[in-house]
Amino acid sequence: QVQLVESGGGLAQPGGSLRLSCAASGFIFSWYAMAWYRQAPGKQRELVARITTGGATNYADSVKGRFTISRDNSKNTVFLQMNSLKPEDTALYYCKAERFSSGYWGQGTQVTVSS
């Protein structure tokens, strides 16, 4: 069955870094664009970053220059390197596999940025 398992979340200080990973299984990973979304308490889920099957990337304005999405098709894994973290980056971060109108979601990993 399809599985997306996020890891790497936790507590970071403002200005710090975290690296999220999402390990995928149960589908042909290289056929899917991969994305990271986040949802903060009381707010809607929002797109953070996306990487296409060809490696093209796009980012939310709020994370441009601080976050980097990448993928390793040999390991069926997508990453989100988060630098210069801010308290407003605190959220539950979800991994999503996207292909045309279909998609699969992970369960999420919590990121908390606080001093």
Q: Mean of the pLDDT values across residues 97-112? A: 95
**Stretch 45-53: mean pLDDT:** 98
CA-wise closest residue to 94 among 84, 80, 108: 108
Instruction: Give yes or no for residue 73 having a pLDDT over 90.
Output: yes
58-72: average pLDDT = 98
Residues in the chain: 115
pLDDT mean over 6-14: 97
Distance CA 36, CA 29 (A): 15
Helix locations, the chain, DSSP H: none
Q: pLDDT value at position 101?
A: 83
Band of the pLDDT at 36, cuts 50, 70, 90? very high
CA dihedral 89, 91, 97, 100 (to 10 degrees): -80
How much is the mean pLDDT over the chain? 97
DSSP state of 32: S
Q: How far apart are CA 54 and CA 114, in angstroms?
A: 36
Q: Indicate the pLDDT class of residue 102, thresholds 50, 70 and 90.
A: confident
d(CA 7, CA 95): 10
